[in-house]
Structure 1
């Protein structure tokens, strides 16, 4: 009987150590893939900038006017991809018929990285927002987003309507 308990303990410890090591490897793998992606985009001549919060972005069209503040109404269209170009979701599928998502900008209503990126945009701004998993869904992932997945949101801000006080 003690033999079986010892084997069970050894297997449990091995599983725990493997899962910890596996998590570290996944974070390391994600960071290596992100670095490779950024270097590739820079080699293509794209200017990748960063917000001090950890997201990266490629400004495609600067736009004009104010950036959204809490309580302002935003109108955006987006596609969300993984680093390997797998389409995860797009606003056209969620907000028919035109794919424009109208929402009140409130910092707690979306993943941190997307919130940060949208906060940099104004009307007619177009931007690719590159969000490491620690600012998205992290090690938990979602039903259709694996753990430690960097997301790329291709976003067009159609309008920012300032909240009337």
Structure 2
């Protein structure tokens, strides 16, 4: 992976540059490139051994025989990055599941057969929707760690949603509600945005939605 070598090279440049004066254009260029690519590799959030990384850079720049042949190096990088990602994913899944396991023991929390947890905040008396309906809702969406990613109340207007087009957790949860109800849903990632997440929603996220069902519009309600 040539881009990895490039990153390593720029990291070597940045290791002591803060202690040195930028006396000419090449110094400034070197620092700027190191700053840029150093920021990039930091965002990768890898548990790097800086001493070994700089040792490898020095070996390459000084034309010393590297420890690993090209094919071996590629395999180590590929396997190592995958292992780190797998460990991160396992941690995300465990944290989200731990939250659900604890949450379902709270008073008032119920669990559907599919695994959606919910609380009734206000029980309405109207009809229930079907998957063929469009519903008008106000809602607040949060990640289980507390970050709000959407809020229709703040926008000042409710949203019309075709129930066939929403995430599985909503299809399950909203069908439980009578018109006029307000529920809080706790949705596992398998019924939400999955292993990849979406926008501000991280992968493997348990989601929390407060949903107020304001209206139900059937596609056949105006049929003659």
Regarding TM over 0.5, the answer is yes
Relative to structure 1, is the Cα distance of residues 16 and 64 closer, same or farther in structure 2, using a 3 angstrom cutoff? same
Q: Relative CO higher for 1 or 2, CA cutoff 8 Å, sep ≥ 6?
A: 1
What SS does the corresponding residue of 2:98 show, helix, strand or coil? helix
The whole-number CA distance in structure 2 between the counterparts of 1:34 and 1:56 is 8
The whole-number CA distance in structure 2 between the counterparts of 1:19 and 1:84 is 20
Relative to structure 1, is the Cα distance of residues 147 and 54 closer, same or farther in structure 2, using a 3 angstrom cutoff? same
Aligned position for 2:123: 62
Match of 2:86 among 16, 20, 29: 20
The whole-number CA distance in structure 2 between the counterparts of 1:149 and 1:125 is 25
Aligned position for 2:157: 99
Farther-moved stretch of structure 1 (82-91 vs 30-39): 30-39
> Unaligned 5+ residue runs, structure 2?
1-65
Is 1:142 aligned with 2:198? yes
Match of 2:139 among 72, 78, 85: 78
User: Aligned-pair distance for 1:33?
Assistant: 2.5
TM-score (norm 2): 0.62
Aligned position for 1:6: 72
User: Aligned-pair distance for 1:134?
Assistant: 1.1
TM-score (norm 1): 0.82
The structure whose residues are more often strand, as a share, is 1
* Contact 1:64–1:123 (Cα < 8 Å) also in 2: yes
The whole-number CA distance in structure 1 between the counterparts of 2:217 and 2:74 is 61
User: Aligned-pair distance for 1:101?
Assistant: 1.4
CA RMSD of aligned residues (A): 2.1
Higher alpha-carbon Rg: 2
* Contact 2:103–2:109 (Cα < 8 Å) also in 1: no
Aligned position for 2:178: 122
- Equivalent pairs counted in the alignment come to 155
Relative to structure 1, is the Cα distance of residues 131 and 31 closer, same or farther in structure 2, using a 3 angstrom cutoff? same
> Unaligned 5+ residue runs, structure 1?
none
Relative to structure 1, is the Cα distance of residues 102 and 10 closer, same or farther in structure 2, using a 3 angstrom cutoff? closer
The whole-number CA distance in structure 2 between the counterparts of 1:73 and 1:137 is 21
The whole-number CA distance in structure 1 between the counterparts of 2:181 and 2:200 is 28
